[in-house]
């Protein structure tokens, strides 16, 4: 039970981080900076 909770927590954390980067990528200035530096792949 505890292992399932930890896996769900990690999955939700990864999804939120990925969604946040996609959200930032849609801003003109921030998106171009991320694309130039290669942070977002």
The radius of gyration computed from the CA coordinates of the chain, to the nearest angstrom, equals 14
Maximum Cα interatomic distance, the chain, rounded to a whole number of Å: 44
**pLDDT in tens for each of the 41 residues of the chain?**
999 999 999 999 999 999 988 887 777 666 666 666 665 55
What are the sequence ranges of the domains in the chain?
Answer: 2-37
DSSP string, the chain: -HHHHHHHHHHHHHHHHHHHHHHHHTSHHHHHHHHHHT---
- Please state, in angstroms and rounded to a whole number, the distance separating the CA atoms of residues 5 and 40: 28
Q: What is the pTM of this model?
A: 0.57
| Per-residue pLDDT at 36 | 66
Tell me the CA end-to-end span of the chain in Å, nearest whole number. Answer: 34
């Amino acid at each position: 039970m505890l292992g399932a909770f930890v896996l769900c927590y990690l999955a939700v954390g990864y999804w939120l981080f990925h969604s946040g980067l996609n959200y930032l990528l849609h801003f003109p200035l921030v998106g171009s900076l991320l694309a130039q530096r290669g942070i977002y792949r």
